[in-house]
Structures are given as C-alpha cells and as structure tokens.
Homo-oligomer: A and B are copies of this chain.
C-alpha cells in the first residue's frame, strides 16, 4: 500500500498580547514571493520528525524571539485548496497568549520584521490569515467567559482595574465594576498581595495574583469558572 500525496503541512500561530487597553496581534512582514510586503501570521512548515507544537515554538522563536504563556490548537485550515498560491498547504493554526508586547531585539536567524498590531487596525494580510485571525478572536472572546485565560495576558501581579479593562476591551462590552469584582473574588482563585500600584493619579490599588494551583485543585473538585455579563 503506497501512498503518494503532494500536500504540505504547516503551522501558524495567532499570538495575542494586551497592552495599554488594547488587544494586539503579532504579525511578520513577508519578504519573498508573490505576497511580498503583505503581513502574515507567524508560521512555517513542519519538519518530518517534529511535533506540531514544537514546530510552533520553533517558528515563534526563530521569527520573533517570543515565548508564549499559553498555547492551544485552534483549527486546521485545509478546505481551501488554494489558500497558498504556490501549492497545497494545510495549516494547523494555534492560538497563543503572551503577557508582554515587548519585542526583543530581533534574533539573528531570519531577521523577519515582526510587529504588533491592534486587533482593530490590522494591515492587509497574506493567504487566508484574516479568516484564521477572525476564528482566533472569536475563540478568545468565548474562552474568556469560561476559562481563566485572561491572566495569561497580564503581568503576574495585576490590578483589578486591569483585569476589568481587559474583559471589557476584548468582549467589547461594559462591565459593572462591583459585580465583576464580587464574582471573581467569590471564585477564590485570586490572591491579594501586599503591594500597591504606583500610578500617579487616584487612590493606590492593591495588586492581585492568580493562584493557578488553587484553580487546578478546584477544577478537579468540579468547579466551573464562568463569568457572564448583563
């Protein structure tokens, strides 16, 4: 039983970062080919002896020097036979979160131009990457309501107002501050620190931490993280 197949398999990463009340996406400028100078998701072909996940990490490191905080498989795009104009490529897309939108000095390898773009100010994208991005954004919006994933976009220690802004920015909704705080505290997965914000204006605010161990423990006991909004 011999199989010949002329399909290439690639991975692409949709990396979200949150900074200054904006949700950003990491893109790199295409340097070659018909799509030169368009922007694209970080990605590339999978090596023969490489796990899909490892391929994603490798590409991220090679092209942007970034290490992600959260990574999960999103969807496999393989129904559009000509999504890549060169030949048939099936892409396994991954969804990633980072808690910093600083870009390190570019790594030596590919020296691609990587850049963060606010989700609502995207440039024209190569391939079907706009579709992929839309899928990822919807996934992020949904997950925020039933998985404590927002913390992966914030610093280890954060203000309640940061968290609240993150939710209201990404979900594009207003949130009642009191109800939001009450709800999150009721889960008992946040810890107060002794530290305070060092903002110029207004009353200093306590810094909080997400206690992942406690969350995992509660999960096993049947706890279900869920935040709804009016």
Which segment, of A35-43, A48-56, A97-105, A106-114, faces chain B? A48-56
**Is there a chain B Cβ closer than 8 Å to A9's Cβ?**
yes
Contacts of A49 in B (CB 8 A): 81, 88
Of chain B, the residue at the smallest CB distance from A52 is B78
Contacts of A92 in B (CB 8 A): 76, 78, 90
Interface residues on A, range: 20 to 34
Copies in the complex: 2
Chain A positions 76-129 with a Cβ under 8 Å from a chain B Cβ: 76, 78-81, 88, 90, 92
**Is there a chain B Cβ closer than 8 Å to A6's Cβ?**
yes
CA distance A75 to B72 in the complex (A): 11
**Is there a chain B Cβ closer than 8 Å to A227's Cβ?**
no
Chain A positions 42-64 with a Cβ under 8 Å from a chain B Cβ: 45-49, 51-53
* Cβ contact within 8 Å between B7 and A46: yes
Of chain B, the residue at the smallest CB distance from A5 is B8
Contacts of A230 in B (CB 8 A): none
**Is there a chain B Cβ closer than 8 Å to A193's Cβ?**
no
